[in-house]
């Protein structure tokens, strides 16, 4: 965030932001058969969290989500999908944020706006993690990629949010064809199957997978990929826009 926005966040009453509403982003990174998630570590606290932020009074919700994700990845025009709203009363645990305020020397009392109940709109993002330079700001010690099966315990309900995002991503593979946002313009059927298998965390039968994808009538075959032996070269496909 820029300096003006950071100043607003430190204000006791949270002027300039929508009250009681936040965005939490599950940024999935894929590359070379690996699926990871981007996590933040708050300075001097040992508290881990998802990248998140708040919505300005005159800012569209989707624009706020794009801004928050761009601030942490350095990328623009990232694919984002809103997947759930988290509003259980039990998620309102002020202790982690109290520790963050203390660690950053921010004066506060129990009425500070950051310690109040928040409803969070969940988004997931899809990026190639090799193209990302994780960008923490002054209140974080770290901003790094973690394997999904080797994540630290996260603050509040953020572990639940990650699991819900992964569930939504897996459903959207077929429903919304989100995997194509992680492919180059031309790709092989093997490239697509590898992506599906990484996200689903299971192996798929090649003939059945190919039949299913081709039956959707969403791909155009373009050429054969050069491998040094024409008889072994797989076909290249592209998405019909």
Q: What is the pTM of this model?
A: 0.88
CATH topology of domain 183-239: Arc Repressor Mutant, subunit A (1.10.10)
Structure tokens at 63: 């624009």
47: which residues sit within 8 A by CB, 6+ positions away?
A: 41, 96, 99, 100, 155
Q: Digits of tens for pLDDT over the chain (241 positions)?
A: 343 444 445 556 678 999 999 999 999 999 989 999 999 999 889 899 999 999 999 999 999 999 999 999 999 989 999 999 999 999 888 888 888 888 888 778 888 888 889 999 999 999 999 999 888 887 888 899 999 999 999 999 999 999 999 999 999 998 899 998 899 899 999 999 999 999 999 999 999 999 999 999 999 999 776 665 555 678 899 988 7
Contact 122, 22 (CB under 8 A): no
3-179: in CATH 2.40.50.140? no
The rounded distance, in Å, linking the Cα atoms of 60 and 130 is 29
Compute the half-sphere exposure of residue 194: CA atoms within 13 Å on the CB side of its CA. Answer: 12
Find how far residue 162's CA is from the centre of its chain. Answer: 9
CA 39/CA 145 separation, integer angstroms = 6
CB atoms within 10 A of CB 181: 17
Query: What are 143's strand-pairing partners?
Result: 40
Would you list the domain boundaries of the chain? Answer: 3-179, 183-239
């Amino acid at each position: 965030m820029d300096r003006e926005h950071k100043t607003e966040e430190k204000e006791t009453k949270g002027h300039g932001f929508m009250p009681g509403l936040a965005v939490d982003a599950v940024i999935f990174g894929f590359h070379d058969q690996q699926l990871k998630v981007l996590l933040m570590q708050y300075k001097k606290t040992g508290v881990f969290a998802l990248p998140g932020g708040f919505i300005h009074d005159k800012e569209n919700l989707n624009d706020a989500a794009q801004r928050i994700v761009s601030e942490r990845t350095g990328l623009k025009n990232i694919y984002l999908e809103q997947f759930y709203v988290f509003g259980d009363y039990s998620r309102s645990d002020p202790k982690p944020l109290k520790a963050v305020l203390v660690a950053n020397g921010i004066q506060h009392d129990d009425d500070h706006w950051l310690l109040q109940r928040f409803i969070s709109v969940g988004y997931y993002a899809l990026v190639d993690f090799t193209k990302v330079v994780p960008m923490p700001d002054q209140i974080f010690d770290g901003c790094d990629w973690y394997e999904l099966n080797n994540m630290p315990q996260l603050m509040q309900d953020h572990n639940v949010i990650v699991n819900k995002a992964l569930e939504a991503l897996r459903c959207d593979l077929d429903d919304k064809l989100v995997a194509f946002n992680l492919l180059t313009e031309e790709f092989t059927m093997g490239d697509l199957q590898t992506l599906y298998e990484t996200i689903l965390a299971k192996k798929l039968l090649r003939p059945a997978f190919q039949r299913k994808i081709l039956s959707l009538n969403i791909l155009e075959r373009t050429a054969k990929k050069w491998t040094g032996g024409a008889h072994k070269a797989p076909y290249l496909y592209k998405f019909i826009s």
